[in-house]
Amino acid sequence: MSHQNIDKFFKVSAILFGQLFVDAFGLEYNIIRLYRNELNNFDGTNLFTDLVFETREGILLNFEFQDVKINKNHLKKYMEYKVKLQCQSGKPVVTVVICTYHLKSEVYIYNETETSILKPIIHYLSDYYDEVKYISLKNKISNHVRLSYREIQYLVLLPFMVPKKSRQGRIKEVCTLIEDIKRYNLFSDDEMYLPLILAIKQYVSDEKERNQLIEVLTMDMPADEIYEKVMNSGIYEHGLEQGLEQGLEQGEENGKFSMALRIKKCLGIEEAIRISGFSREELENEMLK
């Protein structure tokens, strides 16, 4: 998966799962909104961090997503981002690197006594793979037991907990499980599967197979239509300072309206109208229910 696509996969995942995404990595912060990820340089150019959340504790959480072995240049870049973001915002910044490279890097570029506070927190996604947990999830699905948001998040991230050569196979496994989850109504918020579309587009080369897998994730909308909605929504291109409710509301309405309302939360009602195709009246009536 290209660096650009790994960024998009995790940005969509982080925004859709919200507080659960933060909690999954043991970060004891409560997010309240997305924060601008644009950094201004003195020469007039702009840099963009991957994703920034503002927290109730007054901390900015700067997420960076990495799919190759972390080297000195990467860490220097993250340090530069952190300093610029702190100076620009006036807020303390915690940098969190989510790395899907399956071997840990051994990089030591910091002087412990001078720059330790600038160190990023690095999480290797391979550390979160738990075969017992995976088997337990499969057993719950086979026994038609309803799943939680946290368990769905684990399934969505699962293909990136394994080496690249194994990802295509794991994507197929997860899509098969999601097909059963939907068949037996074991989880009610279908849009949470959407980040996997980005993974399928990258790793599954056979067009027929690719479309079949995407159809598993896309409710009653055509695969290409859903993909374009995800890619064109802008939620991973702009660090908009729009309200993002802490956590996820259980029991939100299913289907197309659910997706439209989630887009509204991230981008506002005008973008929700444009992307979903619903009228303002339809969305406002749905919000009043």
pLDDT tens-digit series, residues 115-139 = 556 689 999 999 999 999 999 999 9
Strands 51-55 and 60-66, bridge-based pairing: antiparallel
Q: Round to whole Å and give the CA distance between 70 and 102.
A: 11
pTM of the model: 0.75
What mean pLDDT is predicted for residues 47-55? Answer: 89
Reduce the DSSP state of residue 81 to 3 states and report it. helix
Q: Does position 227 have pLDDT exceeding 90, yes or no? A: no
Question: Number of helices and strands (H, E) in the chain?
Answer: 13, 7
Q: How confident is the model at residue 218 (pLDDT cuts 50, 70, 90)?
A: confident
Per-residue pLDDT at 240: 33
Question: Is pLDDT above 90 for 91?
Answer: yes
Greatest mean pLDDT among 180-189, 241-250, 279-288 lies in 180-189
For residue 77, the SS3 value is: helix
- Note whether residue 214 is domain-resident: no
The whole-number pLDDT of residue 239 equals: 34
CA distance linking residue 102 with residue 172, whole number of Å? 19
Read off the CATH number of the domain in which 18 is found.
3.40.1350.10
Considering its fold, how many domains does the chain have in total? 2
On whether the CB atoms of residues 213 and 200 are closer than 8 A, the answer is yes
Does residue 7 form part of some domain?
yes
Domain endpoint, select from 85, 111, 127: 127
Question: Which H or E run includes 97?
Answer: strand 93-99
Query: Which domain covers residue 286, as residue numbers?
Result: 252-289
Give the gyration radius of the chain's Cα atoms. 19
d(CA 46, CA 40): 5
Task: Look at residue 212 and tell me whether its pLDDT is greater than 50.
Answer: yes
> Does residue 46 fall inside a structural domain?
yes
The reply to whether 229 falls in a domain is no
Q: 127, 161, 179 — which closes off a domain?
A: 127
Residues 6+ apart with CB under 8 A from 115: 79
Nearest to 30 by CA among 70, 10, 58, 69: 58
Question: Which of 190, 149, 155 minimizes the C-alpha distance to 172?
Answer: 155
The pLDDT-based confidence of 16 (bands split at 50, 70, 90) is: confident
Per-residue pLDDT at 3 exceeds 70? no
DSSP classification of residue 126: G
What is the rounded distance in angstroms from the CA atom of residue 9 to the CA atom of residue 201?
11
Task: Evaluate whether 231 touches 4 at the Cβ level (below 8 Å).
Answer: no
Residue 34 maps to a domain: yes
CB 255 within 8 A of CB 288: no
Among residues 38, 27, 12, the alpha carbon closest in space to that of 61 is found at 27
The answer to whether the CB of 23 falls within 8 A of the CB of 88 is no
Question: What is the rounded average pLDDT for all residues in the chain?
Answer: 80
Q: Measured between alpha carbons, how far is 243 from 258 in angstroms, rounded to an integer?
A: 17
In a domain, 37, yes or no: yes
- 143, with CB counted inside 10 A (0-12, 13-18, 19+), is exposed
Q: For residue 149, tell me if it sits in a domain.
A: no
pLDDT tier at 184 (50, 70, 90 boundaries)?
A: very high
Judge whether 120 lies within some domain.
yes
Q: CA 144, CA 124: separation in Å to the nearest integer?
A: 31
Among the candidates 110, 127, 144, a domain finishes at 127
